[in-house]
Amino acid sequence: RKPKSRSPPMVRRIVIHLLTEVNPKAAENFRCFCTGEKGNGTSGYPLRYRGSAIPYAVKGCDLIGGYLPDGDSLTSMTESTYGANHSKWDHNRSLIAARRAGMVLL
């Protein structure tokens, strides 16, 4: 069998405008994950997107990512810069904001 070659991942820049008036807590949480300024979460893993994977990308359609560098999607999806209080956010406001192309769902 011929060994499979693996090309290095492509690095692209993504620019996201945060609509703080729609869901301020979610927007601030997202911004803090982008900067990494909050340090580590309760799990001990860094609260930042740097080094995280974008496992699914379809040009002009979808981009799914944000898993923390620990690789554990359960930990990644429950961490927040606000600690355990993140479950009290009004997630429906985020759903309303993500109904147009190019919008981010948090």
Helix (H) or strand (E) holding 58: strand 56-58
pTM (predicted TM-score): 0.64
| 52 occurs within a structural domain | yes
| 80 occurs within a structural domain | yes
Among 14-28, 42-56, 68-82, the range scoring the smallest mean pLDDT is 68-82
| 102 occurs within a structural domain | no
Residue, of 92 and 54, whose pLDDT is higher: 54
Residue, of 64 and 74, whose pLDDT is higher: 64
Number of domains in the chain: 1
DSSP reduced 3-state for 77: helix
- Residues 67, 7: Cα–Cα separation, whole Å: 21
- 34, pLDDT greater than 80: yes
Pairing of strands 56-58, 62-64: antiparallel
| 32 occurs within a structural domain | yes
